[in-house]
Amino acid sequence: MEKNVPILEESDNCLLLAEFEEKCPPEGNDSVIYTTSLRGIRKTFENCNTIRFLLGSFQVLYDERDVSIHMEFREELWRTLGSRVIPPRLFINGRLIGGVEEVVGLHEEGKLARRSLGSNLSGSGREASDTLEFLPSWDSID
């Protein structure tokens, strides 16, 4: 597994984070994605899945903030960007990368590389705490 891979490496095929607007969500020092798990608006849900898939394919640990489950995440996203945007929105190391169009575009140009997505690499692509968030506490079940 790679360690401390430089993020701002000088390369035509590497995402240079300095090119992106500095907008850091609270505690968003690595990769943060705002998503929705509601399927009410199909395109929004599919766009969120597209970014999840790309991050997962690079095996990157990321903090997923589901605005449909936690309203405070929706408010946090709106405060960070200064407007009422819809998910998905990807932030890397305190910089706004964008929504699905920007992220997929970078991927198609070969600029979205594993080394661009931060130093947290994993086999799962998600933080373990996110996957266990809604499991019942087995200690309280008798």
Which CATH number fits the domain that encloses residue 54?
Answer: 3.40.30.10
Residue 86: inside a domain, yes or no? yes
Give yes or no for a contact between 89 and 99, defined as CB atoms under 8 angstroms apart. Answer: yes
> What is residue 24's three-state secondary structure?
coil
The verdict on residue 26 lying in a domain is no
Given this model, what pLDDT does residue 114 score? 59
Say how many domains are in the chain. Answer: 1
Which pLDDT does position 23 carry in this prediction? 86
pTM: predicted TM-score of the whole model, two decimal places: 0.71
Which residues of the chain are under the pLDDT cut of 50? 1-10, 13, 119, 121-138, 140, 142
Q: Is residue 23 part of a domain?
A: no
Q: Does residue 60 sit within a domain? A: yes
Structural domain contains residue 72: yes
Range of the domain at 82: 34-129
pLDDT at position 40, please?
A: 84
pLDDT at 115: 53
* Cα–Cα distance measured from residue 106 to residue 111, given in angstroms and rounded to the nearest whole number: 5
